[in-house]
Amino acid sequence: MSVSVVTGASSGIGEATARCLAREPGAELVLVARREDRLAALADSLGVPATWIAVDLTEPDAPERVLAHVGEHHDRLDLLVNNAGAAWRGTFGEAGWENVRRTMELNFDAVVRLTEALLPILRASAPSAIVNVASTAGRVARAGSGAYSASKFALVGWSDALHLEEKANGVHVGLVLPGFIETEGFPATELKAKAATRWTVSTPDKAAEAIFEAGPGGKAERYVPRPYALAAVTRILLPGLVRRVLSGGAASVMTTSNEADAAEIRRER
């Protein structure tokens, strides 16, 4: 038996990850997000024992509620996938501290708080694993998504340290850094509309495979699609070149696509 908690399981990468994990023999799943109808429907369709907890992960009591749920329905925890997250686009001059605050609250603080609550049971179930879903934006920042990049840079740094710290306790910590993945929250409409940029957009199933590799597969770090690793390397080795590219025309497509779509969708929710 192998019990996994997947946050953000109601759509996109989290849903694909739940389906991917459910294909493993002996899998049991705990699905976490706010939209209960989606979680219930997914749990019913997986064909393995699956429970769900509908919770806003930014609420103060969310970590304790998830821990209590795991304790009530399962007696161990083998994998925690910290995937829930969102982007609200806006320059700092326009969107200010409030945009940074709400983005950090979900993409960083909520991840750290949930991990703190579940770490004792992960250690008790070792060998076990945590996968933190960051972003290529956690290595390369673009105009208009500073709040998002700040949250993902923070997640990357914290994950790297946690990886080293938890090795001795048998808890593997893997990091996944997606590029553009077409999902409900990040539709990548503009990138998909143009032949020149369509190739840059990948699928939730590919991201789920990367999460599997970084969790049960034992990989420390995985970009998805893999060539996005070049962007991170180039940012370190040739920072001037990256700044020039990101200040030029090519940048406007990249900066207005995913996060703009995401902001639009979130306004509607």
Ligand X SMILES: NC(=O)c1ccc[n+]([C@@H]2O[C@H](COP(=O)([O-])OP(=O)(O)OC[C@H]3O[C@@H](n4cnc5c(N)ncnc54)[C@H](OP(=O)(O)O)[C@@H]3O)[C@@H](O)[C@H]2O)c1
Q: Cβ closer to ligand X: 9 or 214?
A: 9
Sheet bearing 171-178, strands edge to edge: 50-54, 27-33, 2-7, 79-82, 128-133, 171-178, 221-224
Classify burial at 152, counting beta carbons within 10 Å of its beta carbon; exposed 0-12, middle 13-18, buried 19 or more. buried
Active site residues: 148
Judged by CB under 6 A, the residue of 4, 51, 83, 115 near ligand X is 83
Residue 181 sits in the site that holds ligand X (CB under 6 A): yes
x-marked contacts with ligand X along 14-53 as a string, rule CB under 6 A: x------------------xxx--x---------------
x-marked contacts with ligand X along 191-230 as a string, rule CB under 6 A: ----------------------------------------
Residue 61 sits in the site that holds ligand X (CB under 6 A): no
Q: What is the DSSP letter of 108?
A: I
Query: Are the beta carbons of 87 and 262 closer than 8 angstroms?
Result: yes
Residue 58 sits in the site that holds ligand X (CB under 6 A): yes
Query: Are the beta carbons of 2 and 27 closer than 8 angstroms?
Result: yes
Quickly count: other Cβ atoms within 10 Å of residue 145's Cβ: 26
Q: How many residues bind ligand X (CB under 6 A)?
A: 29
Q: Residue 77 and residue 122: Cα distance in Å, rounded? A: 5
Residue 185 sits in the site that holds ligand X (CB under 6 A): yes
Residue 84 sits in the site that holds ligand X (CB under 6 A): yes
Q: Which residues bind ligand X (CB under 6 A)?
A: 8-14, 33-35, 38, 56-58, 83-86, 106, 133, 135, 178, 180-181, 183-186, 258
